[in-house]
């Protein structure tokens, strides 16, 4: 669920197709920098009504999704 929602938010942010984003897709491949990541996490927090503290840098969309899922568990 988290990954799918993230893919939708990322696609909306970069003007791409969520179906083309996989868990192994890197943020670098998407042209997403750390500021973009923070903005997208803020949007995800708003949509899920949670507060997340990013801890470090995430290379792939799947890594970030797993981190968020661990915070929601």
Q: What pLDDT is stored for residue 30 in this prediction?
A: 93
Q: What pLDDT is stored for residue 16 in this prediction?
A: 92
Task: Please state the pTM of the whole predicted model.
Answer: 0.83
Q: What pLDDT is stored for residue 24 in this prediction?
A: 97
* Token pair of 6 as six digits: 């993230």
CA dist 31 and 27 (Å) reads 6
- Indicate if 33 belongs to the active site: yes
Domain 2-72, classified CATH 1.10.1200.10, yes or no: yes
**Domains of the chain by residue range:** 2-72
Low-confidence residues in the chain, pLDDT < 50? none
Q: What pLDDT is stored for residue 1 in this prediction?
A: 82
Q: What pLDDT is stored for residue 61 in this prediction?
A: 92
Q: Which of 33, 36, 49, 63 is catalytic?
A: 33
Q: What pLDDT is stored for residue 69 in this prediction?
A: 87
């Amino acid at each position: 669920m988290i990954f799918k929602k993230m893919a939708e938010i990322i696609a909306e942010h970069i003007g791409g197709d969520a179906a083309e984003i996989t868990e192994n897709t890197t943020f670098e491949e998407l042209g997403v920098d750390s500021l973009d990541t923070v903005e997208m996490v803020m949007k995800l927090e708003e949509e899920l009504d949670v507060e997340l503290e990013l801890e470090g840098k995430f290379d792939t969309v799947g890594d970030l999704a797993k981190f968020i899922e661990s915070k929601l568990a």
